[in-house]
Amino acid sequence: MKHWHDECGVVGIWNDVEASRLTYLGLYALQHRGQEAAGIVTLDQGIHHRHLGLGLVAEVFTEADLDRLQGPAAIGHVRYSTAGQNSLINAQPLTAELYSGAIAVAHNGNIVNGEALRRELIYNGAIFQGSNDTESLLHLIAKHPCEDTISCLEETLPRLQGAYSLLILTKDRLIAARDPYGFRPLVLGQRANASGERSWVLASETCVFDLIGAKYVREIEPGEIFWIDAAGEHSVKLKKTGRLARCIFEHVYFARPDSLVFGLSVYESRKRLGQIVAREHPVEADLVTPVPDSGVPAAIGYSEESGLPFELGIIRNHYVGRTFIEPQQSIRSFGVKIKLNPLTEVLRGKRVVVVDDSLVRGTTSKKLISLIRHAGAKEVHVRISAPPTIAPCFYGVDTPQKEELIASQKSIEEIRKFLEADSLEYLSLEGLHHALGDETGFCSACFDDQYPC
């Protein structure tokens, strides 16, 4: 069920005359990572062109906008505005005219010491236009005396604490950088442009490559500064500052199921989460149904492991948009019903396993379970394909405060009672890590309260 918002997605293109169009398509494929604003900056013979707007990618750009965005290199950004101020002034990429030339920055992540940096910069006379962290980075670069952007980044990036996957477009380079923890994904691909030359693609997820026909090359490594210029590819590494901490939640909920993230298939991860929760928490029942769309792969995994038949017992209305006029008099569980409709013909008289990917406040799930019972289900067994969410994220995922997270306040049995489910079980932390190959190097702070920095 949708209740988390990743802040952003980024795309970069180098060496294709259709750079703005390819970036647009890439942002389209990353729309799930941010629906509040979108922007593209292109590089056209040393000059930057920019177009930003509020809304979905398809709303922000017209054909004429893309035509104006001339030039063979581009970076783009989609954003979920965390700060409540859904203003264009915070839309990215940010641009500035520095002494060393024009610069544009697109940022996915969250800088933990962003507010402190901002206060320090304002004290020293910097003027901020918006309220996002990325602007602090721009000021750090602007104030730094060195003329070369790479050396400048090598010296300023270590001042940023937290999560960042950055794309930077200067007057002659496309730069990608990822924090040493590797919180947020960033991948490199290649394709041939219309002249048959090599063109580079950088993106938050590999689904971008599938859409524009690029080949996946590799991840940008944690702590790497990678760039492309007229002379080709280059890379330097920042000094290592901590352990690897790739966001496990990208696999649990964020990323598109058709992406590779941190080298692993998201769809396969989710199916395994469902299989393992089935193994950990079997139940006698008649059928398994996902909470669509995000719960589908885990429900398929649960069905496969348990042998219980998979049914689409809850139908999702995909026409539900961002704005919706509610009835004035209460319709029972209206907020859930407008999106999800349990299927009486499938559920009536059945013992049902409902598979979802997470529980945040629990209020929506409570209503959904009530609708499922109303549709005639005899028993409702909830299985969450992740451990209880007990701690907020400080690295770029928009989560509620700790007090609002039901699992940080109540025991599983208390939550079950609140939901009025016949049973409720979560995946174990071990099961979660097992599903991702028992690799260390993940941040699962939202599930275990262990913050990497």
Structure-token pair, residue 249: 């939640």
Report how far apart, in Å, the C-alpha atoms of 41 and of each of 68, 93, 409 are.
11, 7, 45
Of 198, 337, 416, 434, the one binding its own copies (CB under 8 A) is 337
**Contacting residues for 180 by C-beta, under 8 A, at least 6 apart:** 222, 223, 238, 239, 240, 241, 242
**Quick check: is 8 catalytic?**
yes
Residue that has been written with the tokens 């909830």 in this structure: 382
Of 5, 7, 26, 61, the one binding its own copies (CB under 8 A) is 61
CA distance 405 to 61: 37
Find the shortest distance in angstroms from Cβ 231 to its own copies: 26
CA distance from start to end of the chain? 29
By the rule CB under 8 A, 258 interacts with its own copies: yes
Where in 190-209 is the site for its own copies (CB under 8 A)?
Answer: 194, 207
Where in 7-36 is the site for its own copies (CB under 8 A)?
Answer: 18, 21-22, 24-25, 28-29, 31-32, 35
Where in 366-405 is the site for its own copies (CB under 8 A)?
Answer: none
Pairing of strands 379-384, 351-356: parallel
Of 190, 341, 363, 423, the one binding its own copies (CB under 8 A) is 341
In this chain, which stretch among 224-232, 331-339, 351-359, 418-426 interacts with its own copies, using CB under 8 A?
A: 331-339
Of 69, 98, 443, 445, the one binding its own copies (CB under 8 A) is 98
Of 44, 233, 304, 448, the one binding its own copies (CB under 8 A) is 304
**Contacting residues for 353 by C-beta, under 8 A, at least 6 apart:** 283, 285, 287, 288, 289, 302, 306, 308, 381, 383
Find the shortest distance in angstroms from Cβ 116 to its own copies: 14
Report how far apart, in Å, the C-alpha atoms of 220 and of each of 161, 177, 201, 217, 233 are.
18, 7, 11, 9, 12
By the rule CB under 8 A, 421 interacts with its own copies: no
Structure-token pair, residue 343: 């299927």
Report how far apart, in Å, the C-alpha atoms of 213 and of each of 23, 185, 227, 261, 340 are.
13, 20, 21, 18, 34
Name which of 18 and 286 has its Cβ closer to its own copies.
18
Name which of 160 and 314 has its Cβ closer to its own copies.
314
Pairing of strands 423-426, 379-384: parallel
Name which of 290 and 431 has its Cβ closer to its own copies.
290
Of 10, 174, 300, 368, the one binding its own copies (CB under 8 A) is 300
Report how far apart, in Å, the C-alpha atoms of 5 and of each of 182, 285, 331, 421 are.
19, 33, 27, 26
Helix (H, G, I), strand (E, B) or coil at 383: strand
By the rule CB under 8 A, 338 interacts with its own copies: yes
In this chain, which stretch among 232-240, 245-253, 302-310, 417-425 interacts with its own copies, using CB under 8 A?
A: 302-310
In this chain, which stretch among 119-127, 404-412, 413-421, 430-438 interacts with its own copies, using CB under 8 A?
A: 119-127
Find the shortest distance in angstroms from Cβ 293 to its own copies: 7
Cis peptide leading into 229, omega within 30 of 0? no
Pairing of strands 73-79, 37-44: antiparallel
Task: Measure the CA dihedral 356/446/427/288, to 10°.
Answer: 0
Q: Count residues binding its own copies (CB under 8 A).
A: 78
Find the shortest distance in angstroms from Cβ 126 to its own copies: 7
Instruction: Find, among 147, 83, 148, the residue nearest to 115 by Cα.
Output: 83
Of 47, 83, 116, 315, the one binding its own copies (CB under 8 A) is 315
By the rule CB under 8 A, 349 interacts with its own copies: no
By the rule CB under 8 A, 127 interacts with its own copies: yes
User: Which member of 8, 152, 393, 446 is catalytic?
Assistant: 8
CA distance 12 to 174: 8
User: In angstroms, how far is CA 360 from the centroid of its own chain?
Assistant: 17
By the rule CB under 8 A, 184 interacts with its own copies: no
Name which of 288 and 427 has its Cβ closer to its own copies.
288
Pairing of strands 246-247, 224-229: unpaired
State the Cα angle at 95 between 164 and 239, rounded to 5°.
30
By the rule CB under 8 A, 233 interacts with its own copies: no
Of 325, 349, 403, 440, the one binding its own copies (CB under 8 A) is 325
By the rule CB under 8 A, 327 interacts with its own copies: yes
Where in 141-160 is the site for its own copies (CB under 8 A)?
Answer: 142-144
By the rule CB under 8 A, 62 interacts with its own copies: yes
By the rule CB under 8 A, 265 interacts with its own copies: yes
Find the shortest distance in angstroms from Cβ 331 to its own copies: 5
Of 84, 307, 329, 401, the one binding its own copies (CB under 8 A) is 329
- Residues with a catalytic annotation lie at 8
